[in-house]
Structure 1
Amino acid sequence: MTSLFRTTAFAAALFASAAVLTPVAFAQDKVITHAQGETTLSGVPAKVLVQDWAVFDDLNALGVTVAGLPSSNAPTYLADKIPADALQIGSLFEPDFEGIAAAEADVYFIAARSREAIGTSKDILPTIDLSVDNGSIVDGVKKNMTTLGDIFGLEAKASELNAALDAKVAEVKAAAEGKGNALVLVTNAGKLGVYGPDSRVSWIYNEVGMPSALENVKDGDHGGDSVSFEFLLEVNPDWVFVVDRDAGTGENAGAAAALLDNELFNQTTAAKEGHVVYVDPQASYISMHGYQGVLLLLDQVLAGLNS
């Protein structure tokens, strides 16, 4: 009886031990839902590759070190945050898959410009698509921060950052109240376009709440909805926020200001009242879904509205 009791007790102890240990083992694997499905990660990623500047912006805000980055179009506001020894893994549109495979990283983040990479990259390493819908940028940024916080065990930090973003949006919204309507202009190789509520800076309309001076806008990928100076004068917006695409892509800094120094534009209410705000061209065109970039743009809009 004593031997049987000891055997039974030993078996029970083993079972209890397994019951305690098994959930921990399973907890190491985490399924992440993203824009192109689900990806399983084993533990917290140590070596991270990023093919998108907005995602790098988010990771930097969280304090996550990145090992591999795009080789081009780095936004100026992120320049001093880029690790000197970071691997260059191709352009925003054309990843270097050989370099990515050789890096032996734990996770690879893509987004809008690089989203097609998943067809190849998913067979190399865990790939997560953090693309954001332009029609709901602030919500998309917050969702990505929450996802990244979950991946890296930084949930509290992500929640803190999201609360700060909500507070900033509320501050800008309060400043915009009663200030009139707005147009977001994009200048592109000497041409004028208008960005609307589905554009790269849609939060000016959708979250900050400034009504568009144009009822219908057909957002274009690059140059917006094409307009003329005569049309701008006819629409006569109260406020104009300017995205200089040429400067954003590093082609011709200051092109927007030169183009808008125009007799017809200078007759608009926005121009006459000094209500023309030039927003950071790279934050608004290259990394428009990045946490720090959105905060930078919100601060610029706030400063303009309060000037």
Structure 2
Amino acid sequence: MKHITRTPAIVAALLAGAFSLTAMTASAQDKVIIHAQGETTISGVPAKVLTSDWAAFDNLHALGVPVAGVPASNAPGYLKDFVAADAIQIGSLFEPDFEGIAASEADLYIVGARSRDAYGTAKDILPTVDMSIDNSAIIAGVQGNITKYGEIFGLEDKAAELNATLDAKIAEVKAAAEGKGTALVLVTNAGNVGVYGPDSRVAWIHNELAIPSVMENVDDGDHGGDTVSFEFILERNPDWLFVVDRDAGVGSEGAAASLLDNELVNQTSAAKQGHIVYLDPQAAYITMHGYSGIMLLLDQVLAGLKA
């Protein structure tokens, strides 16, 4: 066997090449994720994920991604069975438990609409992304987030499949709504009634389904919408009423049906024709940016339109 003598210079060059290859491999596994509050570099595929946003949990569940840490309250009924029994509880929607988040040694933390203020602190603890979206373009925002999660977790094909299914559902419901008349999207809150419009939690009813509102210039409020009276509802006389019961959405006793069962509302075209659709309150109010929640609401609107 021929003996090859390696000088110190050759050894150093070989080691430098090996280190360079390792660095290139590691760099290739890094992903720079652009989100609502900047950019976050994620190394590899996150194995342990935390979120303080139920919409994020919804989207990850739709993709089949397990979630190790969740908010301690307000879990929507349609998602409760999918929360792992040993999931870490990391504070409320608005006030995350940063000590618990730091101790978790997770690979990724996700904030959203209600928890987005936590980003400034969380980003210095572990890789954090803000998946908040614009209510005026909810469907596009949800699909954008699904695509982004697909990139993060190497599930691009599954993400594309989900987005295609959502596109098809939107097209189906939009076709069913065509020519069916006007609507008001009402939100009931502590005995008051408001209108949700083109910048609200369910803005897709008007913006994506093209169901026209009988109220122009809606001043969308975070909780109670643009407050109106029963006389106003009768005066505008919509063909459809889509109702979000905020009280039920946040865990209180729902009161929307009894509140709207009155002499004035019952005179509207919507009431006379049985065109009042009560939307899932948690999907509409808590997880308004979640994939499964949007699909659930679209099916409810479709069922109402076809009834």
**TM-score bracket for the superposition, by shorter chain length:** over 0.9
Offset at residue 23 of structure 1 (A):
3.9
Offset at residue 11 of structure 1 (A):
11
Q: 1:221 aligns to what? A: 222
Q: 2:298 aligns to what? A: 298
Q: Could you state the TM-score of these two structures normalised by the residue count of structure 2? A: 0.94
> How far, CA to CA, are the matches of 2:299 and 2:205 in structure 1?
12
Give the gaps of 5 or more residues in structure 1: none
- Residue aligned with 2:168, SS: helix
Pair 1:241 & 2:242 matched: yes
Offset at residue 27 of structure 1 (A):
1.0
> How far, CA to CA, are the matches of 1:207 and 1:88 in structure 2?
35
Offset at residue 119 of structure 1 (A):
1.4
- Residue aligned with 2:158, SS: helix
Q: 1:51 aligns to what? A: 52
Q: 2:129 aligns to what? A: 128
Offset at residue 12 of structure 1 (A):
10
Compute the RMSD of aligned alpha carbons.
2.1
Q: 1:284 aligns to what? A: 284
Residues 47-83 of structure 1 deviation map (CA, whole Å, 9 limit, x = unaligned) = 1000000000000000001100000100000011111
1:98-137 aligned at under 5 Å gives the runs 98-137=99-138
Tell me which stretches of 4 or more aligned residues in structure 1 moved more than 3 Å. 9-23
Q: 1:264 aligns to what? A: 264
Provide closer, same or farther for how the CA distance between residues 283 and 16 of structure 1 changes in structure 2, counting only shifts above 3 A: same
> How far, CA to CA, are the matches of 1:132 and 1:96 in structure 2?
23
- Residue aligned with 1:113, SS: coil
1:116-195 aligned at under 5 Å gives the runs 116-195=117-196
The amino acid that maps onto 1:26 is S
Q: 2:73 aligns to what? A: 72
Offset at residue 108 of structure 1 (A):
0.3
Compare 14-23 and 261-270 and name the one that shifted more. Answer: 14-23
- Residue aligned with 1:193, SS: strand
> How far, CA to CA, are the matches of 1:3 and 1:102 in structure 2?
53
- Residue aligned with 2:114, SS: helix
- Residue aligned with 1:77, SS: coil
> How far, CA to CA, are the matches of 1:258 and 1:34 in structure 2?
42
Residues 242-281 of structure 1 deviation map (CA, whole Å, 9 limit, x = unaligned) = 000000001112x000101110000000000110000000
Offset at residue 25 of structure 1 (A):
2.4
> How far, CA to CA, are the matches of 1:49 and 1:176 in structure 2?
38
Residues 186-226 of structure 1 deviation map (CA, whole Å, 9 limit, x = unaligned) = 00001000000100000000001101111110000100000
Percent identity, aligned pairs only, is: 70
The amino acid that maps onto 1:94 is E
Aligned residues: 304
The amino acid that maps onto 1:138 is I
The amino acid that maps onto 2:272 is K
> How far, CA to CA, are the matches of 2:98 and 2:22 in structure 1?
38
Offset at residue 21 of structure 1 (A):
5.8
Q: Could you state the TM-score of these two structures normalised by the residue count of structure 1? A: 0.94
